[in-house]
Amino acid sequence: MLVSNRRPHSQAELCQAQRSGPDDRERCPEPAWFVIHRHLDSDLVVCAGHLGPVILHAPNVY
């Protein structure tokens, strides 16, 4: 797993985490500050508030 704290390429890119859990369809409205590079999967861009939970629970994060 590699986490970079560089802002994603698009300045307007929003966090890709669900707002209140995996069953919630609403996405977080916060700007994304971190990119999580996953093994054999696409990168995730997340805000500071979702960084910890995504690292703990996202698939293919080692």
Give the separation between CA 23 and CA 1, rounded to whole angstroms: 25
- The whole-number pLDDT of residue 18 equals 82
pLDDT tens digits, 7-39: 555 566 899 888 776 677 788 899 999 999 888
Higher pLDDT, 2 or 60: 60
CA 28 to chain centre: 10
Q: Are 48 and 15 in contact (CB under 8 A)?
A: no
- The whole-number pLDDT of residue 46 equals 93
Is 50's pLDDT higher than 70?
yes
- The whole-number pLDDT of residue 9 equals 56
φ/ψ of residue 27, rounded to 5: -85, 155
- The whole-number pLDDT of residue 7 equals 57
